[in-house]
Structure 1
Amino acid sequence: MARVKKQQQQQAAENRDAQAPTGGNSDGGRRLSPLRVIGAALVAAIVVSAGVVGFQWWSAKASVEAKPWFAAYVDVTATPRFAFENLGATKTKDAVLSFVVASASDGCTPTWGAAYTLDQARASLDLDRRIARLQQQGGTVAVSFGGQRNDELAVSCIDETELKKAYSTVVDRYEVGTIDLDLEGAGLSDAAASTRRASAIADLQQERRAAGKSLAVWLTLPVAPSGMTSDATDAIAAMLAAKVDIAGVNLMTMDYGTSKDAKQSMVAASEQAVSAAQHQLGVLYDRNKTHLSDPSLWAKIGATPMIGQNDIEKEVFTLADAKTFNTWATSKGLGRMSMWSANRDKTCGSNYVDTTVVSDACSGVSQGKTTFASLLSAHFDGRISLGESAVTTAEPTSTAAVADDPAHSPYAVWATDDSYLKGTKVVWHHNVYVAKWWTKGDVPDNPVLNAWETPWTLVGPVLPGETPIPQPTLKAGTFPDWSGTTAYDKGTRVLFEGVPFEAKWWTQADSPEAASSNPDSSPWTPLTQDEIDKLLGGDSTTQ
Structure 2
Amino acid sequence: MSRIDGRRLSWGRVLFVAAVIGATIWAGLHYWTSNRDAARAAESGHWFGAYIDATSTPFYPIAEDVGKHERVVLGFAVANPKHPCAPSWGGYYSMDAANETFDLDRQVARVREQGGEVVISTGGLLNDELATACTDRKKVVAGYEGLLKRYQSTTLDLDVEGNDLEDIASGLRRASAVAAVQQRAAADGRRVEVWVTLPVDTGGLTASGLGEVHRLLDGGVDLAGINLMTMNFGETRGANQSMAAASEQAAKSAHGQLLDLYKGLGKVTGEQTMWSKIGLTPMIGQNDLRGEIFTVEDAVSLHAFAMANGVGRISMWSANRDAGCGPNMPESERVSNNCSGTDQAKGEFGMLLSSGVGSASWSTEPRPSAVPVPEETAIVDDPAKSPFPVWNPDAAYPESERVVWRGNVYEAKWWTQGDTPDQPVADVVATPWLLIGPVLPGDKPAPVPTVPTGLYPKWSASTVYNKSDRIIFDGRVFESKWWNQGESPEAALQGAVNSPWLRLSNAQLKKLLDAPVSKYP
TM-score (norm 2): 0.61
- Cα distance in 1 for partners of 2:360, 2:133 equals 33
Shift of 1:250: 0.3
- Unaligned 5+ segments in structure 1 are 1-45, 387-543
- Cα distance in 1 for partners of 2:25, 2:111 equals 58
Report if the CA contact (8 A) 1:309-1:356 is conserved.
yes
Equivalent runs, 1:445-456 vs 2, <5 Å: none
1:230 to 207, 219, 223: 207
* Matching residue of 1:310: 287
- Cα distance in 2 for partners of 1:262, 1:355 equals 21
Please say if 1:196 is aligned against 2:173: yes
Local SS of the residue matching 1:142? strand
The C-alpha deviation readout for 1:445-503, integer Å capped at 9, x for no partner, is xxxxxxxxxxxxxxxxxxxxxxxxxxxxxxxxxxxxxxxxxxxxxxxxxxxxxxxxxxx
Equivalent runs, 1:148-297 vs 2, <5 Å: 148-297=125-274
Report if the CA contact (8 A) 1:70-1:92 is conserved.
no
Shift of 1:164: 0.9
Please say if 1:72 is aligned against 2:44: no
Please say if 1:82 is aligned against 2:60: yes
| Structure with max Cα Rg | 2
Please say if 1:144 is aligned against 2:135: no
Q: What is the aligned residue count?
A: 337
Local SS of the residue matching 1:87? coil
Letter in 1 for 2:197: T
- Cα distance in 1 for partners of 2:128, 2:288 equals 21
Shift of 1:68: 1.3
Letter in 1 for 2:158: L
| CA 258–379 in structure 1, closer or farther in 2 if over 3 Å, else same | same
Equivalent runs, 1:35-46 vs 2, <5 Å: none
Q: What RMSD in Å do the two structures reach over aligned CA positions?
A: 2.6
Shift of 1:48: 11
| CA 255–361 in structure 1, closer or farther in 2 if over 3 Å, else same | same
Report if the CA contact (8 A) 2:314-2:353 is conserved.
yes
TM-score (norm 1): 0.59
- Cα distance in 1 for partners of 2:191, 2:103 equals 26
Report if the CA contact (8 A) 1:309-1:317 is conserved.
yes
Report if the CA contact (8 A) 1:87-1:94 is conserved.
no
Local SS of the residue matching 2:308? helix
Report if the CA contact (8 A) 1:140-1:385 is conserved.
no
2:349 to 337, 361, 372: 372
Report if the CA contact (8 A) 2:204-2:257 is conserved.
yes
- Unaligned 5+ segments in structure 2 are 1-20, 364-521
Shift of 1:66: 3.2
* Matching residue of 1:130: 107
Which deviates more from structure 2 when the two are superposed, residues 305-314 or residues 254-263?
254-263
The C-alpha deviation readout for 1:351-400, integer Å capped at 9, x for no partner, is 111111011111101113660011111221259998xxxxxxxxxxxxxx
Report if the CA contact (8 A) 2:62-2:111 is conserved.
yes
Report if the CA contact (8 A) 1:70-1:383 is conserved.
no
Report if the CA contact (8 A) 2:122-2:157 is conserved.
yes
Report if the CA contact (8 A) 2:68-2:116 is conserved.
no
Shift of 1:106: 1.4
Shift of 1:54: 10
Report if the CA contact (8 A) 2:68-2:114 is conserved.
no
Letter in 2 for 1:197: R
| CA 158–263 in structure 1, closer or farther in 2 if over 3 Å, else same | same
Report if the CA contact (8 A) 1:305-1:339 is conserved.
yes
Shift of 1:94: 2.1
| CA 50–227 in structure 1, closer or farther in 2 if over 3 Å, else same | closer
| CA 67–50 in structure 1, closer or farther in 2 if over 3 Å, else same | closer
- Cα distance in 2 for partners of 1:124, 1:313 equals 35
Letter in 1 for 2:131: A
